[in-house]
Amino acid sequence: MFIRRSLYTLTILLILCTGRAVGQTQGQSSGQTQGQTSGQPTHSNPWAPMDLGQLPPVASLSDGVWLKGELHMHSRHSNDASNNSIAKIIAFCNTVGIDYLCITDHDNHVGGDVAHNTWADPEFKSDSVLLLYGAEWTTTRGHGNVFSARPYDHQRLYDVRDQRDIVIGAVVKELGVHLSANHPSGKDHFGFSYDMVKSIEVWNSAIWSKNANAMMIWDDMLSSGRKLTGRGGSDAHHGVPDSPDKTAKNTYQRYANYAGTPTTWVFATSRTSQAVVDALTNGRVCVSANPYAPRVEFYADLDQDGKMDMMMGDNAKATGKAVTFHVQLTGKTVPDSSYTVNVVKNGDPFATYRVRGSQPVVEFTDTPVVLGRTYYRIEVEGPPTAYPQVPQSPALAGNMVGLSNPIYFNFDPNF
């Protein structure tokens, strides 16, 4: 079943990847055939790149607050979790300074009724951690997370889980929730249309190396014109037992993968749940190996005046003039260590820079095309950052420090 679903998704991806090339080939051959008789090509692709006119203005780069959070976590309301009460998770988040949290229990373990389980748990409350309402939508075709600032009718989404995408998409739209693709490659991959989601879990769990295919799928979706936010999620299920006799089969995972491995940072307009969800949707987001690791900030100066005009997640019109890009690591870097900054442009490696931890800043220049889309995103490698509360996690992240979301040019807001 999984193999068949994978082939189905792969076919969709291949169509997305090659659709334009096939169209161009058909257009050319039809033009050539016509050319032999009339000399006039007859095919004009209505989907070809065109001038989009004015794009919505970019939001303020200074009015906001960086918040760090965990977007994929299972409590005792998932029956494959152990020793993981909601109180235990929230207490841990307070200890390590996590600002927001979405507990995403498997909805199928409670017949879709998360409202009377996770959300009704007396422990589901906090004065310090912003709690999002959500669940892991657990279906035959794979998993997705829902993020919402307020309660919504999750039961409706659960009930349509095995319907066609057109039915599910209508429900997602009516509920007004942020649906996100989970662990998009491999077992339980998100086997639905990416037109229904606003973000994708490009970094699942502390083990960075297993996310290569997720990153590839993200680049495919971005390259096909989808403005899709990349985010992280530990997918942790297991907590510390209250006494040795409560030790469970998977308790060992607690020390390798828990809240914050990885950490998803959002630049929110305020310290509210709604602003967190909005930032996840608009893409002002970066992902770090853990809450103590530095985060990647990525800006662009469009008019060479030395002042930054946009940041990751933002979309601007390409003018044909050179753009200066600014990358910085914010937080605790290792001063005498070397960090590698990889720039990805339109899914391909664009440039690699090495910086010292004492001066973790890179600037580079490029000119996005006037007609058609361009995106740039950043991946940073370097020394691991210790996470004493989850001591085995840095070894699993390896040299991966963090990643940015893209800066976009000429992405159609009405796509």
User: Interface with Zn ion includes 161 (CB under 5 A)?
Assistant: no
Using the rule CB under 5 A, give the single segment among 143-151, 173-181, 273-281, 339-347 that binds Zn ion. 143-151
Cβ proximity of 204 and 210 under 8 Å: yes
Counting contacts by CB under 5 A, is residue 314 touching Zn ion?
no
**Which of the ranges 10-18, 156-164, 235-243, 312-320 carries the binding residues for Zn ion, by CB under 5 A?**
235-243
C-beta of 143 vs 377, nearer to Zn ion: 143
- H/E stretch holding 126 reads none
Instruction: Give whichever of 136 and 278 is closer to Zn ion, judged by the CB atom.
Output: 136
For residue 143, state whether it binds Zn ion (rule: CB under 5 A): yes
Tokens of 303: 């008019």
DSSP 290-358: STTS-EEEEEEESSSSSS--EETT-EE---SS-EEEEEEEES---TTSEEEEEEEETTEEEEEEEEETT
Please say which residue, 68 or 74, places its beta carbon nearer to Zn ion. 74
Closest CA to 314 of 329, 297, 299, 325: 299
Least Cβ distance, residue 204 to Zn ion (angstroms)? 8
Give the residue with the Cβ less far from Zn ion, 27 or 186.
186
- Binding-site size for Zn ion (CB under 5 A) equals 4
Would you say how long the chain is, in residues?
415
- 200 vs 275, which CB is nearer to Zn ion? 200
**Minimum separation from the CB atom of position 162 to Zn ion (A):** 16
CB of 288 to Zn ion, least distance (A): 20
Written as six digits, the tokens of 288 are: 């770090």
Stretch that binds Zn ion, among 36-44, 92-100, 176-184, 380-388 (CB under 5 A): 176-184
Q: Which is nearer to Zn ion, 74 or 284 (CB)?
A: 74
219 versus 235: smaller Cβ distance to Zn ion: 235
Contact window for Zn ion (CB under 5 A) among 61-69, 177-185, 340-348, 362-370: 177-185
292: left (phi over 0), alpha (psi -120 to 50) or beta: alpha
* Cα dihedral: 229, 85, 118, 105 (round 10): 40
| Stretch near Zn ion under the rule CB under 5 A, chosen from 114-122, 234-242, 277-285, 300-308 | 234-242
Q: What burial class does residue 413 get, using C-beta atoms within 10 Å of its C-beta: 0-12 exposed, 13-18 middle, 19+ buried?
A: exposed
Cβ distance to Zn ion smaller for residue 182 or 261: 182
> With 0-12 CB in 10 A as exposed, 13-18 as middle and 19+ as buried, what is 405?
buried
- Nearest of 307, 283, 280, 285 to residue 296 by alpha carbon: 285
CA distances from 125 to 137, 233, 312, 411 (A): 22, 21, 32, 39
Least distance between Zn ion and beta carbon 156 (Å)? 20
Are 201 and 134 in contact by the 8 Å Cβ rule? The answer is: no
Q: Among all chains, which residue has been given the structure tokens 């987001």?
A: 285
The span from the CA of 191 to the CA of 95, in Å, is 36
Find the shortest distance in angstroms from Cβ 392 to Zn ion.
Answer: 20
| Closer residue to Zn ion, CB minimum distance, 99 or 136 | 136
Supply the minimum distance, in Å, between the C-beta of residue 188 and Zn ion: 5
Q: Segment near Zn ion (CB under 5 A), from 44-52, 135-143, 153-161, 244-252?
A: 135-143
**How far is 130 from 150, CA to CA, in rounded Å?**
11
Q: Does 235 bind Zn ion (CB under 5 A)?
A: yes
Where does this chain touch Zn ion (CB under 5 A) — which range of 20-28, 174-182, 242-250, 287-295? Answer: 174-182
Shortest spacing between CB 283 and Zn ion, in angstroms: 23
- The C-alpha angle 108, 200, 323, rounded to 5 degrees, equals 165
Query: Side chain identity at 335, as an amino acid letter?
Result: P
Give the type of residue at 167.
V
Cβ closest to Zn ion, residue 71 vs residue 318: 71
- Expressed in angstroms, the distance from the first to the final Cα of the chain is 32
Q: Which stretch binds Zn ion (CB under 5 A): 111-119, 141-149, 311-319, 359-367?
A: 141-149
Q: Do 213 and 13 touch, CB atoms closer than 8 A?
A: no
Q: How far is the CB of 43 from Zn ion (least distance, A)?
A: 44
In the complex, least distance from residue 243 CB atom to Zn ion, rounded to whole angstroms = 26
* Residue number closest to Zn ion, CB atom: 143
Verify binding: residue 109, Zn ion, rule CB under 5 A: no
Query: Which residues in this chain contact Zn ion in the complex, by CB under 5 A?
Result: 136, 143, 182, 235
